[in-house]
Amino acid sequence: NQLNNAKATLMTRLSHKPGGGLFTPTFGLWSSASYWDWASELRDGNEYRAGLFMLTPLSTTITARLSAGVLRRNAQSRVYELRSRSAGLNLDWVLNPQFSLYAGFQYQDGDIVSTSTAPAPQLASAAEVIETDDAYGDVGLNQIAYRLDARTRVGALGFNYAFSRRYALDAQVQTVKSSARLGNEYQRHISLLSILARFN
């Protein structure tokens, strides 16, 4: 599968709480650098992210997180060289020491990539870069990748269940909707089920 990939990331984070009160917010900065290796060579490259956030307790069990960030991705192909900015709001509700619920919304302004196996004049008219994609060559499809400047909205809802001090089950559903020039739109629903491990 040409979409198989591996990613190595180095991340740093600095946070500061200016007081000891229960409802005192925590402010933070973070940055990360990643190398992404794909079976599709066009997608190989480096990814750089940076952002800031504020954590604010709304009650003894509910916490709000406001965040903003930037993304820059360099790749072997210009169509996968992406730039974007984002802002988000997340809410975490701790029901008990083992079980919590969370919800979030993120708005992104910047590049996305859309692919098509057939000529797509409307995509071509709105695209900033167009290149032949190598991800589906092994199944005989003539795939074209289009880089678009778009506005993307991501909503998420999930729960986390800690079944031990080190391991937790996390389930999440996401709705993604992107809108680009000339009426080009993309919408997708994603479900994620993960086992999280803590090593400290």
- The set of residues, in sequence order, having a beta carbon less than 8 Å from that of 2 and lying 6+ positions away, is 38, 39, 40, 134, 135, 136, 137, 138
More confident residue, 126 or 160: 160
Residue range 3-27, pLDDT digits in tens: 889 999 999 999 999 988 889 999 9
Q: Counting Cβ atoms within 10 Å, is residue 141 exposed (0-12), middle (13-18) or buried (19+)?
A: middle
What is residue 29's predicted lDDT score, i.e. its pLDDT? 98
pLDDT at residue 98 tops 80: yes
What average pLDDT does the structure give for the chain? 92
pLDDT, one tens digit per residue, over 84-94 is 999 999 999 99
pLDDT digits over 58-80, tens only? 999 999 999 999 999 999 999 99
Residue 18 pLDDT: 93
Percentage of residues in the chain having pLDDT higher than 70: 97
Q: Average pLDDT in the 122-146 region?
A: 79
pTM greater than the 0.85 cutoff: yes
